[in-house]
Amino acid sequence: MDYTITEAKLNDVPSIVEITLQSFQDAFNKPFYLTREDAVHRWTAYMRKEHHPQKAKDPRIVYLAIGDGKTVGFVAGHLTERFDLEGELQSIYILPEHQRQGLGTQLVITLAKWFKKWDAKAVCVDHKGGSEGFYIKLGAQPNEHGWLVWDNFLDLLNPKE
């Protein structure tokens, strides 16, 4: 399937939450740790820059992946001072039936293009058991806090053959 990637708006929050709930349940075999209502509230506040993950700066972005007219995944990231780095990949979720087709990689590369505009190279991501293989495949390495870190996230824009 061909996917289009587009910047999310506030009225996309319900789709973002629906994808999170479904994808999380499928991947981790338990319900997401926020209720639907709380997750809608959290994402709305994140996008409005009213909720700040620890050490987050204001600039932030959410991209959606659209397939066949339906939102099937998203990625979110922001500038940060966490661990004295520059960027944080906040969240990435793809509906189960659209996984392992390169879409996650496509979304991460789109996020890298956004980080490039801010010259943000050193990027971290928290990870839940099971997803670290994806980030490590994309070049991240564990740090001493148990997070995964890219020294230069922008390398994703120039993949080595």
- Answer whether 113's CB lies under 8 Å from 150's CB: no
In the shown chain, the binding pattern of residues 58 to 97 toward ligand COA, with x for contact by CB under 6 A and - for none, equals ----------------------------------xxx---
Minimum distance between the CB of residue 119 and ligand COA, rounded to whole angstroms?
A: 25
| CB of 43 or CB of 134, closer to ligand COA | 134
Residue 103 touches ligand COA, criterion: CB under 6 A: yes
Instruction: Check binding of 25 to ligand COA (CB under 6 A).
Output: no
Q: What are the residues whose beta carbons fall under 8 Å from the beta carbon of 75, sequence distance 6 or more?
A: 62, 63, 89, 91, 92, 104, 107, 108, 110, 111
Minimum Å distance from CB 121 to ligand COA? 21
148 makes contact with ligand COA (CB under 6 A) = no
Q: Minimum Å distance from CB 94 to ligand COA?
A: 4
| Burial (CB count <10 Å: 0-12, 13-18, 19+), residue 48 | exposed
CA-wise closest residue to 60 among 19, 124, 114: 114
N-to-C CA span, the chain: 24
Tell me the closest approach of the beta carbon of residue 133 to ligand COA, in angstroms. 2
| Binding status of residue 140 toward ligand COA by CB under 6 A | no
Q: Does 102 bind ligand COA (CB under 6 A)?
A: yes
Angle of the 36-47 helix axis to the 13-28 helix axis, nearest 10 = 130
